[in-house]
Amino acid sequence: MRGVLVSAAAVLVLAACSTDDVSDAGDDDSGSKDTEWFVQADFDRQNEQRSATFEGDAATPWLQYIDGDMTDTSKFKSEGAKKVCFANASISNPWRQTGWITMQQQLKVLQDEGVVSQMETRDAQDSDDTQIADIDYFIKEGNCDAFIISPNSTAAMTPAVERACETGKPVVVFDRGVDTDCATSFIHPIGGYAWGIDTAEFLVDNLEKGDKVVALRILPGVDVLETRWAAAEKIFEENDIEADDQFTDADPTKIKQIITDAINSDDIKGVWMDAGDGAVAAIEAFEDAGKDYPVMTGEDEMSFLRKWEETGLTGLAPVYSNFQWRTPLLAVQKIFAGEEVPTEWVLPQSPITEDDRADYLKANDGMPDGHYAKFGGEDLPGFPKAWQDR
């Protein structure tokens, strides 16, 4: 991974699915070898960032960032409402749907303030080819004052992002990244390694050496997911936790079958997930079999938080901070005001624990099960109805 947008601070991009083997790239002092999905330096940096001090007000985490290089945007300073062109990978899952609602509500605020005139959005529906065409359409159209891009994948989208940069307009990339450093700002939470460290350490702390864990993974070849598993696998191996990873396609029926097969053949003590979709199905498999609940990590999706509270299981809800969907438009506001913005805008990423779960359940009371607790839209004009009526 090269370039600021896939820097060592976080590898957060969706890569095309691949089963190609990649030879070892190097070793760290401890003998660990870098591979396609594990880079020791990135692991170490994100581990440190988990306890970093973030600049800004903790009450507005979508504006916080880790101190680092800043981009001078004085050349973009100008008056008047601006047209933003947003090339979105998709809204094909509850996490993205939650974020998209938040982004639209943030847009309304900036329109009312006269900062943004409109945001023309094109949805690639998880297709590289479609998103490339979307970005090229915006460029050819020629009336975008700024580009916001949430890339569908890494390598395939890089040339299109570079073409957007070549227009001379500000380009903000968020959520997932690309192999270029041309963007004005790249916005993302800490990263996949941080997720893997948070979750694996939680399981290690609550299990015994030799305990068996089922690791539920959505699909291979997606780097934000692969780095989550790479970090977790390293920690499991170092602590003698036997983890068997299985791909689920985020299908609740398949998840339930995988767990059922596992508990019928082994004494499963833990469940690890690289994303929380289907967490309830995994828990129900234990219930159906009459087994004790496992130690488990899910996500800050409301369905898991509610099931976690209901069952009393030992759990943790890692997050991939959904409030990041506010940040790109706020970055555009700063850019046209001529204010500096972080070149790599690393947002806070902290899991929900047993101690603060009740607070998030209360704050999100009435939200649908597919809602994400750390969405960060409580102060936006459509709260709570916009998120409830999806």
Measured CA to CA in angstroms, residue 223 lies from 46, 53, 64, 302 at distances of 15, 26, 24, 25
The whole-number pLDDT of residue 17 equals 32
Q: Round to whole Å and give the CA distance between 224 and 199.
A: 15
The whole-number pLDDT of residue 314 equals 98
The stretch 212-218 carries a mean pLDDT of 97
Q: Round to whole Å and give the CA distance between 77 and 293.
A: 56
The whole-number pLDDT of residue 9 equals 36
The candidate with the shortest Cα–Cα distance to 302, out of 250, 375, 354, 214, is 375
Global confidence as pTM: 0.89
Confidence category of residue 177, pLDDT binned at 50, 70, 90: confident
pLDDT above 90: residue 212 = yes
The candidate with the shortest Cα–Cα distance to 171, out of 187, 188, 152, is 187
* Rounded percentage of the chain residues whose pLDDT exceeds 90: 85
3-state SS record for 311-335 = HCCCEEECCCCHHHHCHHHHHHHHH
* Low-confidence winner among 137-146, 172-181, 289-298, 336-345 (lowest mean pLDDT): 172-181
Q: Cβ contacts of residue 52 below 8 Å, gap of 6+?
A: 66
Place of tokens 């307009």: 169
Q: Round to whole Å and give the CA distance between 184 and 193.
A: 24
| Residue predicted with more confidence, 222 or 260 | 260
Helix (H, G, I), strand (E, B) or coil at 83: strand
**What tens digit of pLDDT does each residue of 246-302 get?**
999 889 999 999 999 999 999 999 999 999 989 999 999 999 999 999 999 999 999
Cis peptide bond N-terminal to 384, omega within 30 = yes
Confidence category of residue 225, pLDDT binned at 50, 70, 90: confident
Confidence category of residue 10, pLDDT binned at 50, 70, 90: very low
The whole-number pLDDT of residue 335 equals 98
* Residue 60 · residue 321 · CB < 8 Å: no
DSSP alpha helices (H): ranges in 128-191? 128-141, 158-165
* Residue 276 · residue 320 · CB < 8 Å: no
pLDDT above 50: residue 340 = yes
Task: Output the six-digit token pair for 301.
Answer: 């999706």
β-partners of residue 216 are 246, 273
The stretch 51-66 carries a mean pLDDT of 98
DSSP alpha helices (H): ranges in 11-153? 40-49, 94-112, 128-141
pLDDT above 50: residue 1 = no
**What tens digit of pLDDT does each residue of 108-156 get?**
999 999 999 999 999 999 999 999 999 999 999 999 999 999 999 888 9
**What tens digit of pLDDT does each residue of 63-93 get?**
999 999 999 999 999 999 999 999 999 999 8
Buried b (16+ CB within 10 A) or exposed e, 58-94: eeebbbbbbeeeebebeebeeeeebebbbbbbbbeeb
Place of tokens 């999100």: 364
pLDDT above 60: residue 23 = no
Q: What is the greatest pairwise CA distance in the chain? A: 67
The whole-number pLDDT of residue 21 equals 31
* Low-confidence winner among 60-69, 146-155, 228-237, 321-330 (lowest mean pLDDT): 146-155
The whole-number pLDDT of residue 277 equals 83
The whole-number pLDDT of residue 155 equals 85
Q: Round to whole Å and give the CA distance between 109 and 116.
A: 9
Q: Cβ contacts of residue 112 below 8 Å, gap of 6+?
A: none
